Structure 1
């Protein structure tokens, strides 16, 4: 389980490694453009029930910590979906990865 540390709060956000690796690409792209946006997610099973949203701004410290030392191969389609979400008025909503089924011969 990866961890996202944002701002001065002591409460880290726990997100699955693969999901955070994809979010990192989208978040870094938006912040590099000096764009602010929201990030929303459903709480993990071991956290209190519910969902959370944070406002991401380029001036607020951000740290990504991954459990797996190797970066995963990224899914371009998932990054595109997250980026479209980031560019909407609702901000990024962490959705499950969509994996294309192999084509039948």
Structure 2
């Protein structure tokens, strides 16, 4: 069992009171799945105690930085930055139009 669960102490032990182990074992024997008992108990504990693996938040992406490459002139780099900052034009098309307008 996971240390995250066992560290909960009494709550971990009490969680077994919520699992009918005898009935669970009998059901698995009837189905021929008695070798899956540990897996089924673990699944029930996840339902009761939550996942033993903490869900980490996704790391925020690093903001893009615009660094001038060493082999580009200052003038060319300024033009590239200006083009990237320009708002893009929207194309407008009527639903059944044969032509679109920019």
Give the TM-score range, shorter chain. under 0.3
Structure with greater proportional strand content: 1
Larger RCO, structure (CA 8 Å, separation 6 or more): 1
Which structure carries more helix by proportion?
2
Q: TM-score, structure 2 length as denominator?
A: 0.22
Larger radius of gyration: 2
